[in-house]
Amino acid sequence: MPRARSRRLDQVYGAIASPTRRAILTALAAGEVNVGRLARRFPVSFNAVSKHVKVLERAGLVSRSVRGREHWLRLRAEPLREASGWLARQRVFWDARLDALEVVLRDDAGGR
């Protein structure tokens, strides 16, 4: 795996490891929101939300367009696609291996 891709994965998984940030993402899935309106929905300070947004932005999951004094946030799907891809590949890989292992174990138990 190329270094850059790996770092991107680090950032994306790190970003979505926080329930607050996952909630922000799902909130953003309904459409563009500015930081203030977004922050009002969460039980933490405005500044905390602003920081979370920055983490999501660094991971490439959110983009920002400044209109006047408001900053409007929008989802970026591409990095999510990569992250989802790694997990999905691993999953099928594991499932195949674990299924195979189970067969071996079952046959082994039945055989003797």
Partner DNA sequence: TTATTATTCAACCGATTGGTAGAATATCGG
Partner DNA sequence: CCGATATTCTACCAATCGGTTGAATAATAA
98 binds, among its own copies, DNA, none (CB under 5 to 8 A by kind): its own copies
Residue 74: CB minimum distance to DNA, A:
13
Residues at the contact surface with its own copies, assessed by CB under 8 A:
6, 9-10, 13-14, 16-19, 22, 25-26, 29, 31, 75, 77, 80-81, 83-84, 86-88, 90-91, 93-95, 97-98
Residue 36: CB minimum distance to its own copies, A:
22
Q: Which two tokens stand for residue 107?
A: 């046959």
Residue 41: CB minimum distance to DNA, A:
12
Q: Which two tokens stand for residue 29?
A: 């899935």
Give yes or no for residue 8 binding DNA (CB under 7 A): no
Check the CA dihedral 39-53-86-9 and report its sign. negative
68 binds, among DNA, its own copies, none (CB under 5 to 8 A by kind): DNA
Of 74, 83, 77, give the one whose Cα is nearest residue 27.
74
Q: Which two tokens stand for residue 46?
A: 């405005």
What's 44's DSSP letter? S
Contacts with DNA in 23-82 (CB under 7 A)?
34-37, 39, 44-48, 50-55, 64, 67-72
What's 26's DSSP letter? H
Of 51, 76, 52, give the one whose Cα is nearest residue 62.
76
Give yes or no for residue 17 binding DNA (CB under 7 A): yes
State the residue for tokens 């950032």: 11
